[in-house]
């Protein structure tokens, strides 16, 4: 029987990082369950695929920090399914205002910022110039960050859908409506196609406010915000020689930016993630682009904190994410029922928090 002809135990709408984590966790919780996942395009072609997927064990709020710890524990279950989650470890350094060190420390989980030694200062001077450049700013280090490749992680987390009879992954299925029926829910597509499931976990990412789940998302104060990262090609370090050791991640704590070495290439490309001020943006990647205010923010970060860094813009990644009040991810019932749940609101920390968000949504569905 095909996907259209059966009633699945659980349907996951959306195959970004939250939806993919939900599939893997659901398969681990109930190996005998019939699972279905649907996406409007192809897997990971939304903002998840554009993410730089940097994981520093931290959180803006106590709830985020709790979810970060929960996600870390869940990695022991998920990494055998998705080895790409192990990622690469990147030495991590911070530029923090002197009066903001305590606040930055508070956001870290099980870690503290510590002073750099002279050798580390020399390592950072190779790509960035002498640091810190801004008065009243300290250069510190933390534990290494984990950086993963988003597309590989999502593909591996979705593997239970293609490896077990009764499970299905349906691409190109744009959900127009989720309607209750006698045995659960009907997923109705824009083209009139229908699928059925006893329970629904909606993880639509930035599309949460532009589809059948928009009402629930708006009732809980959710909004979309643009996420921007510029690709910078730096002057090759030191007479064309490679730097000693792995290239570092540099976090600029205020105004919430970071520079991440791009994987591959000749070691001269960096991603600079900045904080866009564009709220309530459209979710589709064809409608999003880096604009004048984003370039102004990049120039401010470089001018104030990295005047010694020389690099040209050679590209950008622009996506959108959902933010709820207080940076709290949303895991809320749909239509007052306990067999359909909306899970969204990564607030720029989707890869760090996704396993915990998905796990919490499955708990709410009582999917055991």
Write out pLDDT tens, residues 204-219: 999 999 889 999 999 9
Q: Catalogue the E-assigned strands of the chain.
A: 7-13, 35-38, 54-55, 88-97, 114-115, 137-147, 168-170, 175-181, 184-189, 194-202, 223-234, 249-252, 257-261, 269-274, 311-323, 330-333, 340-344
CA distance 321 to 46: 10
pLDDT score for 239:
43
Nearest to 157 by CA among 302, 25, 58: 25
Name the band, by pLDDT with cuts 50, 70 and 90, for residue 2: low
pLDDT score for 169:
96
What is the distance, to the nearest Å, from the Cα of residue 326 to the centroid of all Cα atoms in its chain? 17
| Range scoring the smallest mean pLDDT among 61-65, 115-119, 157-161, 314-318 | 115-119
**Exposed, middle or buried by CB within 10 Å (0-12, 13-18, 19+), for 232?**
buried
pLDDT score for 1:
46
Name the band, by pLDDT with cuts 50, 70 and 90, for residue 305: very high
- If DSSP codes are grouped into helix, strand and coil, which group holds residue 351? helix
| Percentage of residues of the chain with pLDDT beyond 90 | 79
pLDDT score for 3:
66
CA distance 67 to 360: 9
CA distance 134 to 125: 15
pLDDT score for 244:
57
Name the band, by pLDDT with cuts 50, 70 and 90, for residue 27: very high
Strand 114-115 to 194-202 pairing: unpaired
pLDDT score for 43:
86
Question: Residue range 183-199: average pLDDT?
Answer: 95
pTM for the whole thing? 0.93
Check whether 318 has a pLDDT greater than 90. Answer: yes
Question: Residue range 348-363: average pLDDT?
Answer: 95
Asked if omega into 264 is within 30° of 0 (cis), the reply is no
Phi-psi region of 203 (alpha: psi -120 to 50; beta: other; left: phi over 0): beta
Question: Residue range 230-246: average pLDDT?
Answer: 67
pLDDT score for 163:
76
Write out pLDDT tens, residues 157-189: 999 998 788 999 999 999 999 999 999 999 999
CA distance 356 to 22: 9
Name the band, by pLDDT with cuts 50, 70 and 90, for residue 127: confident
Write out pLDDT tens, residues 323-354: 999 999 999 999 778 899 999 999 999 899 99
**Exposed, middle or buried by CB within 10 Å (0-12, 13-18, 19+), for 134?**
middle
């Amino acid at each position: 029987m095909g996907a259209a002809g059966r009633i699945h135990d659980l349907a996951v709408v959306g195959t970004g990082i939250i939806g993919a984590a939900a599939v893997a966790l659901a398969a681990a919780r109930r190996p005998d369950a019939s699972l279905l996942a649907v996406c409007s395009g192809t897997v990971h072609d939304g903002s998840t695929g554009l993410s730089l997927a940097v994981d520093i064990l931290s959180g803006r709020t106590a709830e985020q920090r709790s979810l970060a710890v929960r996600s870390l524990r869940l990695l022991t279950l998920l990494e055998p399914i998705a080895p790409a989650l192990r990622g690469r470890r990147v030495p991590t350094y911070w530029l923090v205002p002197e009066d903001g060190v305590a606040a930055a420390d508070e956001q870290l989980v099980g870690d503290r910022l510590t002073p750099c030694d002279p050798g580390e200062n020399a390592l950072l001077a190779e790509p960035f110039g002498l640091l810190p450049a801004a008065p009243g700013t300290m250069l510190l280090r933390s534990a290494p960050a984990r950086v993963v490749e988003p597309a590989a992680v999502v593909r591996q987390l979705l593997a239970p859908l293609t490896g077990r009879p009764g499970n299905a992954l349906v691409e190109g299925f744009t959900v127009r409506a989720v309607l209750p029926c006698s045995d659960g829910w009907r997923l109705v597509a824009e083209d009139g196609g229908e699928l059925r499931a006893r329970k629904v976990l909606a993880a639509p990412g930035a599309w949460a406010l532009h589809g059948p789940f928009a009402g629930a998302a708006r009732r809980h104060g959710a909004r979309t915000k643009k996420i921007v990262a510029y690709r910078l090609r730096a002057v090759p370090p030191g007479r064309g020689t490679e730097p000693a050791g792995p290239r570092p991640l540099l976090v600029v704590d205020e105004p919430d930016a970071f520079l991440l070495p791009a994987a591959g290439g000749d070691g001269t490309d960096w991603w600079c993630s900045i904080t866009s001020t564009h709220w309530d943006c459209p979710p589709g990647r064809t409608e999003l682009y880096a604009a004048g205010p984003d370039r102004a923010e990049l120039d401010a970060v470089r001018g104030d904190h990295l005047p010694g860094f020389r690099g040209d813009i050679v590209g950008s990644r622009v996506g959108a994410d959902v933010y709820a009040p207080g940076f709290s991810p949303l895991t809320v019932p749909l239509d007052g029922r306990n067999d359909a749940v909306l899970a969204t609101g990564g607030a720029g920390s989707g890869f760090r928090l996704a396993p915990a968000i998905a796990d919490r949504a499955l708990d709410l569905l009582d999917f055991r």
